[in-house]
Amino acid sequence: MNKRIGRYDISDFLLIKETREFAYMGTGFNALNEDVGAQVEGKTYINNKNKSSTIKGYDTKFPYDLDLMYNDADDDEAADIEAVQELYFIGRDHKVGTDAEREYVRTELFLPAAPGSERYFEARKFKVAVEVTNSQGAGGETMTGAGNLNCVGDPVFGYFDIVDRKFTKGEYAETLGTLTITSAEGATSGTTKITIDPALASGHVYMYKTASTVTAPALNDDCSAYQPWNGSADITATAGNKICVVEVDASLEAKKAGIATVVAKS
């Protein structure tokens, strides 16, 4: 079925120089467009009446228009406008050269990097020179800002993780995720209390095995021979042995895993 693409189907992220983290460009932005800027070269050959044209390159830029906002608190509302503040201070401080360059990612939420993915989407990463053209406002009105993100060199094609806000070059390839396993003494003798980070994904369950030595499964390995675990009950295990906890899907295939040394109550 044909689907119209809305502006909300494209998400934009700017790398904040101080934190080296990508900030979402949403709140405060009235417009953030893509001017592809194809460069056309034409010639009329002696055997033709009409010109022959070819695309020789691109002069791409992303014009933006925003409402100026500021928040110096360390909270979610402040994080929402980090990109607005970053662009404002580049112009205010008259930054030049590499000091005015940033990394910018345009993510296409209508193109999952893997079938059915709600986390990884096709994306392009650009190096951009930030051109702040104005900061203005009439009496009693909100100050606004405008400018262009001018591309430096060629874009990098890959995919973007909208949860961890990380860009990866190339095609998406699923890998076994990592679980951080912590073992502490359980409530009764010969048991261990296991805690895990990150939290269990929806539709997944835990399986485990423990022995003097253990190895983690590969991605999508069948883990039906492991022991089921509800994620909270103490586990009977020998102190000093290893324990491997695996997060599996409904088919009991491995998606994430981690290994820890058992700490058990004596």
Contacts of 265 (CB under 8 A, 6+ apart): 185, 186, 187, 188, 189, 190, 191, 192
Residue 207 CB neighbour total at 10 angstroms: 20
CA distance 82 to 220: 39
- Provide the residue-wise pLDDT of the chain in tens; the chain has 266 residues: 899 999 999 999 999 999 999 999 999 999 999 999 999 999 999 999 999 999 999 999 999 999 999 987 777 777 899 999 999 999 999 999 999 999 999 999 999 998 888 899 999 999 999 999 999 999 999 999 999 999 999 999 999 999 889 999 999 998 899 999 999 999 999 999 999 999 999 999 999 999 999 999 999 999 999 999 999 999 999 999 999 999 999 999 999 999 999 999 99
Nearest to 257 by CA among 223, 216, 203, 201: 216
What is the pTM for the complete model shown?
0.74
